[in-house]
Amino acid sequence: MVSILQTVDLCCERDDRVLVSGLNLDIEQGLIYQVEGPNGSGKTSLLRVLCGLSSRYTGSLTWRGQSVQQARSQFHAELLYLGHDSGVKAALSPRENLIWHAALKGLNGRSADEAIMAALEKVGLYGYEDSPCFALSAGQQRRVGLARLFLGCSRLWILDEPFTAIDKKGVAELEQWIEAYVQGGGTVILTTHHELTISQPVCRITLGDQ
């Protein structure tokens, strides 16, 4: 396996409380990593550090052998982060919500619109592309966010509680998407209270007392 993301002696705090201390990770391509721990153990804080949204840490964080700071452009080009909120602006349509993300992935004009429509169809929102998101259910809004998984060529998905607000059918679909993604060489780091039922092995990253 090829290592893509590494931490050495990683420590992070929140509100003067140490959440993660001395964490050494070697994230390999083509695997699923599940961050586990009780509420308040720092799972979301760790994901925010790993994806570059938080700089409140000590130790080293490297992407493909370079510090994340030095490899920032390449790192963010290959990364997709989905937070536990849907990240959807309710006043905008699904299409409008995805336009900016498509642009970040280098898609513009007709190619962007075609990719957006294909992504929305993939997540079951064909026909809703121009409806305001406030008119959609919580599950449909979550699917708008999940459509970002199919825009661009990200090599690492970092997903914080991705199964939130989606129904049983949606859970099964998302598990299938994760499986197909890692089978194609992608890497997934996620947190979830959902019991995963997928065929690929899941590597556990345990935080706090169990």
CATH of residue 94? 3.40.50.300
The pLDDT assigned to 39 comes to 87
CB 157 within 8 A of CB 191: no
The pLDDT assigned to 209 comes to 56
User: Which residues, at least 6 apart from 60, have a Cβ–Cβ distance to it below 8 Å?
Assistant: 6, 7, 8, 9, 10, 67
Chain segment 94-144, per-residue pLDDT in tens: 999 999 889 888 888 888 999 999 999 999 999 999 999 999 999 999 999
CA torsion, ordered 118, 48, 30, 183, to nearest 10 deg: -30
Domain that holds residue 84: 3-206
The domain total for the chain is 1
Q: Which pair of tokens denotes residue 81?
A: 């982060």
Residues with pLDDT less than 50, the chain = 210
